[in-house]
Structure 1
Amino acid sequence: MPRLLVVIFFLLLASGTYAQIDSLQQLRDSTKLNLDTAAVQDSVKKETRKERKEREKAEKERAKYYYKDILKDSTRLAIEHVSRVAWRRSAIAPGWGQITNGGRWVWVKLPIIYGGFITAYFVFDYWNYYYQMFAKEAAYRIDNSGGTNNVDLERMSTEGIIRQKDNFRRNRDMTILVTAVWWAGNVIEAYTDSMLRNRYNIGDDLGLKISPTFMPTQTMAYKPNLTNYFTPGVKLTFTIK
């Protein structure tokens, strides 16, 4: 019995020693792996800011000539260049891109574009005039604890004048926003017209033919006469190219 206990003791001691050796070996291997990874990372040169900018510039330049890794042909590059010129010119001066695109409708578009800007100017001047008038009156009453600076507004209360001032200011600012949207619409129209004009055939000859004709019309079912009658009309014929 004592011998058996001694044997069991030595077996437990040996297993514990083997486990410690195995854990030390795993720790040594993981430490070596971490050191190798750190050495690899240190060996890789970090990208500087200048190199990053040059790389991004090269990628943008490549994107001009490729579309989803497909090389663009010279025709598509020319169309994109013309479209860029059109919308950039309209962004600088409204109507310039429309003149660049050409076409018979350009002299209709220009009056509409500049008519919108002229209308926006007069609307802005209207709202701004009354805003300034009510703002001066409100400031005068607050600084002088009453009294009236404008005889046309003497019957209005101070709260009403402040409320009107805010309303006119909001309308004036809204006019500026609408004018900016009108300018953006001018740019979008120039770009869209250039793309459609150069990519698709939207010329004046749309293949439309108009000719008078007679359309057969049957009588109602409750009438005894079932013969066909003809009604004059106009026939439109479109030819898709």
Structure 2
Amino acid sequence: MFSVLYSFSQKEKDSTSIALDQSPIIANKTLVKKEIDPLRPSKAAFYSTILPGLGQAYNKRYWKIPIVWGAIGAGVYFYVRNDKQFDRYRDAYKSRLAGFKDDEFYGLISDDGLIRAQEQFRRNKEMSLLITFGLYALNIIDANVDAHLLQFNVDENLSLSPHYQYNEMENTSDLGLTLNFKF
């Protein structure tokens, strides 16, 4: 003994329905489009040329400024240190050539040793200078590239995202990629 009960309601809304606003939902009003400034990368590079780290400040990458100053400062430090050592050994060698025997290395290092030390510190000084100029150029390149990447479009209208979906018809799961491109 089975009974089937059908009921119909004449009401348009019942107590469980949620009233929605009749105006359409437009998602584009919430998106803020930034204009691309084609001179921004060149400004950042120019500022970094004037003062290392200033281009990073212009790009609002403040955490990079101590790295830039530390790298260039280390290069300058090693250049100055190697220059002082070179001068010490050169002055000692010059005093030995003049016939003096009162330099700080007398009895410890031979004349050939002084020449080799001068060559080593000259090479180290030149390498320090090249590395410092390379780090200075790297600072300029970083500011320029970072300014270019800040203008790269990464909003939600252009996205590639993985998705997982359960397929009820086949009782399996589906994996895939979704590409969203909205105008």
Q: Greater relative contact order (Cα 8 A, min sep 6): structure 1 or 2?
A: 2
| Per-residue deviation, 1:117 | 1.7
Is the CA contact 2:76–2:129 (under 8 Å) kept in the aligned structure 1?
A: no
| Alignment counterpart, residue 99 of structure 1, candidates 57, 61, 76 | 57
| Per-residue deviation, 1:185 | 0.4
1:166 aligned to 2:119?
yes
Q: Match for residue 88 of structure 1? A: 46
- Counterpart CA distance in 2 for 1:83 and 1:186 is 13
What number of residue pairs does the alignment pair up?
134
Q: Match for residue 147 of structure 1? A: 101
- Counterpart CA distance in 1 for 2:56 and 2:179 is 28
CA deviation string 1:142-187 (max 9, x = no partner): 121x62411x443211011011111101101110110001000000
- Counterpart CA distance in 1 for 2:116 and 2:68 is 34
Identify unmatched segments of 5+ residues in structure 2: 1-34, 162-176
- Counterpart CA distance in 1 for 2:180 and 2:150 is 16
1:85 and 1:160, CA in 2 relative to 1: closer, same or farther beyond 3 A?
same
| Per-residue deviation, 1:91 | 0.7
1:187 aligned to 2:140?
yes
1:111 and 1:208, CA in 2 relative to 1: closer, same or farther beyond 3 A?
farther
Q: For residue 177 of structure 1, give the secondary structure of its aligned residue in structure 2.
A: helix
CA deviation string 1:4-30 (max 9, x = no partner): xxxxxxxxxxxxxxxxxxxxxxxxxxx
| Per-residue deviation, 1:202 | 5.2
Is the CA contact 1:196–1:202 (under 8 Å) kept in the aligned structure 2?
A: no
- Give aligned-pair identity as a percent: 25
1:201 aligned to 2:149?
no
Identify unmatched segments of 5+ residues in structure 1: 1-74, 210-236
Alignment RMSD (CA, Å) = 3.0
| Alignment counterpart, residue 63 of structure 2, candidates 108, 115, 128 | 108
- Counterpart CA distance in 2 for 1:126 and 1:117 is 14
Is the CA contact 1:148–1:154 (under 8 Å) kept in the aligned structure 2?
A: no
Which structure's residues are more often helix, by fraction?
1
Is the CA contact 2:82–2:125 (under 8 Å) kept in the aligned structure 1?
A: yes
